[in-house]
Copies of this chain bind each other. A is one copy, B any other.
Amino acid sequence: MATRTRRSQRRTEALSRDRIVEAAVELLDTAGEGGLTFRALTERLATGPGAIYWHVANKDELLDAATDAVVAAALAADSPRAEPSARVESSARAEPSTRGESAEPAESAESAKSPDSPQDKIRAIAFGLFDAMADHPWLPTQLALQLSRSPWGSVTPQIFENIGRQVRALGVPEGHWFTAASALVHYILGAAGQNAANNASARALAPDVDRAEFLDAASQAWEDLDPDDYPFIRAVAAQVREHDDREQFLAGIDLVLTGITALHLSGEQGGTTPSAT
């Protein structure tokens, strides 16, 4: 059942790489990672496999292109105007604690009260990716796969560059640029991906229950672990349940930002690498 063939458009608009990628994203969104096959794709696009292979080298390239497109859209979205909590929908209470709480998060000397400080821009980028992963549950996996296929593929540099510019704007000494940007990128990708995976799993376990209810099921799995083997996890399980995902995510970012600021407050002459530059 289901799988309504929306092929009613009757051969309008010729096939193109962009249309194929677009169809691939739709297929991934609706049918999941396993739903993207060349047969499903040919059916949706009303062609044969050969037509697709004329525009795209192979499936990996297609997946990379789909990943690229979604990430690029996420990075572009927060560029004009940062809308950090625009999508917060059900958790509007995230706003008050979103700002200036948690251990004075690293406000740099100069651009502290500016509406778009580097910190704010970093948070905006992070939430852009966070939301993209929530919208496209296959993104984290594909991101990881592409990263291991070709670490200098198009996506990683995109993210790294965007974060890196803000790190530089933060006033971090050049010797620490790579370390600081890496720490941010890895945290953002990892935490956002983890969160997306949590949501996907919870949704799978309990298809149509309320958010609160499935969060219950999620941390329940942690609480079911043997208390002798996993005392720490058991201890944080309850904590996790009570917390808003976005709030938690933001707290982690601010933690890393704090570390970065502490770094460049300490020594200008390149701490970790005495022999560098």
Instruction: State which of A1-9, A36-44, A68-76, A192-200 sits at the interface with chain B.
Output: A192-200
Q: Give the residues in chain B near A240, CB-CB below 8 Å.
A: 178
Number of copies: 2
Take A183-B256, A252-B179 as given contacts and tell me if A101 and B233 are in contact as well, using a CB distance cutoff of 8 Å.
no
Q: Mark A116-146, 1 if CB is under 8 A from B, else 0.
A: 0000000000000000000001001100110
Known: A157-B230, A175-B239. A194 touches B248 (CB 8 A): no
With A103-B271, A190-B186 known as contacts, the answer to whether A243 contacts B276 (CB < 8 A) is yes
Shortest Cβ distance from residue A276 to the other chain B in the assembled complex, whole angstroms:
6
Q: B-facing mask of A238-258, CB < 8 A → 1, else 0?
A: 111011000110111011111
Known contacts A140-B144, A183-B256; A251 and B272 CB within 8 A of each other: yes
- Give the complex CA separation of A180 and B251 in angstroms: 9
Complex Cα gap A103–B272 (Å): 8
A182 and B103 alpha carbons, distance in the complex (Å): 17
- B102 A225 Cβ-Cβ under 8 A: no
Cβ contacts A72-100/B at 8 Å (1 or 0 each): 00000000000000000000000001000
Interface size on A, residues (CB 8 A): 86
Say whether A209 faces chain B, with CB atoms less than 8 Å apart: no
Contact A183 B145 (CB under 8 A): no
Q: How far is the CB of A126 from chain B (nearest CB, A)?
A: 12
What chain B residues lie within 8 Å of A273 (beta carbons)? 97, 242-243, 247, 251
Could you list 24 examples of A-B contacts with CB < 8 Å?
A101-B272, A102-B272, A103-B262, A103-B265, A103-B267, A140-B148, A147-B194, A148-B196, A164-B236, A177-B232, A177-B236, A179-B248, A179-B252, A179-B255, A183-B252, A186-B191, A187-B190, A189-B190, A250-B272, A251-B272, A255-B256, A255-B263, A258-B258, A258-B263
